[in-house]
Amino acid sequence: MSNLIDMNELGNHVRYWVHYDDTICKLNKDLRNMRATRDKYELAIIQRLKVAKQERAILQIVGGRLQIVEDKQMQNLCYKNLQEMLHDYYKQKPGPVKDETDDIMKFLKGHRQTTISERLRRHNTG
């Protein structure tokens, strides 16, 4: 009888997991759509302020203010970009310098810490 209770409990856990996984997927999709809509309004506001030569304007809103600022974003430091930058580094060195990019990349990849954990992965069938 205890095995039946365990299976019922497992079934409940699976149902709750699927429910929350579905909810997270829907919320992520909604967030993507909201960000895209917000970005359209942002572009329209910035364009109108520029046309009016009011790029430095501060717009008072409930709970704060809006103003145009520069948003600086750095390129991702992934292996591909790192490898390209290292090749460029060695190319700009004066004189005959050995390009050690491949050795450095092997070292970095070989000494990268890995964490392994068990997770549930959902595979949709339809």
Assigned token pair, 121: 């992965």
Amino acid 66: pLDDT: 97
Amino acid 126: pLDDT: 74
Write out the DSSP string of 47-76: HHHHHTT-TT-EEEETTEEEE------PPP
Please give the chain's pLDDT, 126 residues, in tens.
556 668 889 999 999 999 999 999 999 999 999 999 999 999 999 999 999 999 999 999 999 999 999 999 999 999 999 999 999 999 999 989 999 999 999 999 999 999 999 999 999 887
Residues in CB range of 91: below 8 A, 6 or more apart? 99
Predicted TM-score of the model (pTM): 0.70
